Amino acid sequence: MGGGLGSALIRLGGLSSDSDQVSVDSITLLVALLCACIVLGHLLEENRWINESVTALFIGLGTGTIILLATKGRSSRILEFDEELFFIYLLPPIIFNAGFQVKKKQFFRNFMNITMFGAAGTLISFCVISFGAKRLFETLDIGYLELRDYLAIGAIFSATDSVCTLQVLNQDETPLLYSLVFGEGVVNDATSVVLFNAIQKFDLTQINSRTGLKFIGNFFSLLITSTLLGVLIGLLCAYITKKLYFGRHSTDREIAIMILMAYLSYIMAELFDLSGILTVFFCGIVMSHYTWHNVTESSRVTTKHAFATMSFIAETFIFLYVGMDALDIEKWKFVSRSPGKSIGASALLLALVLIGRASFVFPLSFLSNFAKKSKSDKLSLKQQVTIWWAGLMRGAVSMALAYNQFAKSGHTQQPGNAIMITCTITVVLFSTVVFGLLTKPLVRLLLPPSDHPNIMNSVDPSSPKSLALPLLGNGLESGGGGEDSTPSFRTLLSTPTHTVHHYWRKFDDACMRPVFGGRFSA
């Protein structure tokens, strides 16, 4: 068996280069590595510096090195970084689970801020990075890049890594920041992808005010239709589960239909060229608000944990993958001829990322504070710094977009393109490892947990997260008066600015819940 494993390792190098087919060898190795990541991640749990993504990244890098040595420098990859795999299979469960588990109250309370940071902020960051790259890259002389390429660089490096953010911030410890940074991350991912697609499609040779307006119109109609599609499919699923009540015959059907319809929302959005990320996120929110309350108790436990597990596996897989892919020899060949240029370009991009994010977080926070009346709602400078810092990581979305733009069919033809790919890898690795490692300590330094003792312990009863409690108790539906029993939190919420939420609750109870189910109608 030892010999078998050895020869399998040798084979890996050969197979990955001549065949696109996913081979049994590479699946075995990947699954084994995923298991190793989980065990190591658990053992390092107590460590305050390391998080799961960094562990996976290092395991990926380590495996890459071993394969590189075993194949005598021929190859380090088991699978080519495949956008399709990433966008069609790995991203949807992560974003859906985020929508499903997000604290809806916190999210909608900060809805204006989130969309502002996510949409307007990303546009600002995009402009800063594109403009900065165009100006500064010319002095570096790194090979020919078109205007389209510079705009693409702006979109690529504006995509925050929401996956990594999830692991660094804690929903229970810092709920406000979590919902802000994470919500922004989802909108930001969607914005970057939409921007990127728009850049690839638009005719950039003749930019005038008309095409500019058309571009902006397109952009907002995309955001709105994507959201609506997600809400619609979520409601359809709620209606089906309520009307048919599958649980009568089989819990498996309930779970299967929830998983399939969630995925359907994403893939339908992709089919109609909408933003699947936004669609599946809102589908997740609607499903946790309505559908989740229509199914049997065991389906609730199962969906809550199964979605979280799928998301967890997909996240770990992505970081493992990025780590393993980073060592690919072919990409570094061009760089070895001019290492200075590559390091310069990477440092420049990192600086631009830092500046680009700063140039929207602080001004927009100022604007947001200006509009708020109560002092508790305003964002302090410490919180602003945390928001700025927590969104600096760049991850798999950036990688996927960079591959799409600069490495058609996975191979880098031009020197300029090759350098852009290696720069992206450098920025992703550096920001994930260095920024990621520093975020946990930074958050503790800036916002020690004792600052917000009340909010931290309150459990939002309308979210699946709260299920742990009733399960340990009597195992029956907690439902009912869960919310009214925390009047202090309630009064905190019902400040004048939240009248929209009040009307929504009225509408929800009167019209939506009788049709689609939910906590009170059951």
Compute the chain's Rg from CA coordinates.
Answer: 24
> How far apart are CB 241 and a second copy at their closest, in Å?
10
Q: Closer CB to a second copy, residue 255 or residue 350?
A: 255
> How far apart are CB 54 and a second copy at their closest, in Å?
16
Q: Closer CB to a second copy, residue 152 or residue 467?
A: 467
Place of tokens 């925390």: 486
Give the C-alpha distances (Å, rounded to integers) separating 78 from 54, 121, 318. Answer: 20, 37, 13
* Cβ atoms of residues 280 and 88 within 8 Å: no
Q: Find the helix packing angle between 91-101 and 251-271, rounded to 10°.
A: 120
Q: Give the integer Cα–Cα distance in Å for 368 and 371.
A: 5
Q: Closer CB to a second copy, residue 241 or residue 398?
A: 241
Q: Closer CB to a second copy, residue 309 or residue 374?
A: 309
> How far apart are CB 91 and a second copy at their closest, in Å?
13
Residues that bind a second copy (CB under 8 A): 1, 4, 8, 21-22, 24-25, 27-28, 31-32, 34-35, 38-39, 41-43, 45, 84, 88, 240, 244, 246, 249-253, 255-257, 259-261, 263-264, 267-268, 270-272, 297-299, 301-302, 304-306, 308-309, 312-313, 316, 467-468, 471-475
| CB proximity list for 392: less than 8 A, separation 6 or greater | 160, 353, 354, 357, 431, 435
Q: Closer CB to a second copy, residue 133 or residue 268?
A: 268
Q: Closer CB to a second copy, residue 42 or residue 135?
A: 42
Q: Hey, is 495 helix, strand or coil?
A: coil
**Between vectors from CA 395 to CA 142 and to CA 431, what angle results, nearest 5°?**
70
> How far apart are CB 309 and a second copy at their closest, in Å?
4
* CA 62 to mean position of chain CA atoms: 25
> How far apart are CB 315 and a second copy at their closest, in Å?
10
Q: Which amino acid is at 245?
A: Y
Instruction: Tell me the DSSP string of 327-387.
Output: T-HHHHHHHHH-HHHHHHHHHHHHHHHHHHHHHHHHHHHHHHHHH--SGGGSPPHHHHHHH
> How far apart are CB 160 and a second copy at their closest, in Å?
23
* Cβ atoms of residues 431 and 393 within 8 Å: yes
SS3 of 473-489: CCCCCCCHHHCCCCHHH
Q: Closer CB to a second copy, residue 93 or residue 344?
A: 93
Q: Give the integer Cα–Cα distance in Å for 218 and 484.
A: 43
> How far apart are CB 112 and a second copy at their closest, in Å?
30
Q: Which amino acid is at 519?
A: R
> How far apart are CB 77 and a second copy at their closest, in Å?
18
Q: Closer CB to a second copy, residue 152 or residue 295?
A: 295
Q: Give the integer Cα–Cα distance in Å for 364 and 442.
A: 22
> How far apart are CB 16 and a second copy at their closest, in Å?
16
> How far apart are CB 21 and a second copy at their closest, in Å?
7
Spell out the long-range contacts of 212-219 with Cβ–Cβ below 8 A and sequence spacing 24 or more. Answer: 219/194, 219/195
Q: Closer CB to a second copy, residue 453 or residue 475?
A: 475
The conformation of residue 465, written as its DSSP 8-state character, comes to G
Give the chain's length: 522
* Cβ atoms of residues 303 and 258 within 8 Å: yes
Paired tokens of 373 = 């009346």
Q: Closer CB to a second copy, residue 123 or residue 259?
A: 259
Q: Closer CB to a second copy, residue 271 or residue 522?
A: 271
> How far apart are CB 171 and a second copy at their closest, in Å?
13
Task: Outline where 141-174 has alpha helix (H).
Answer: 147-156, 162-168
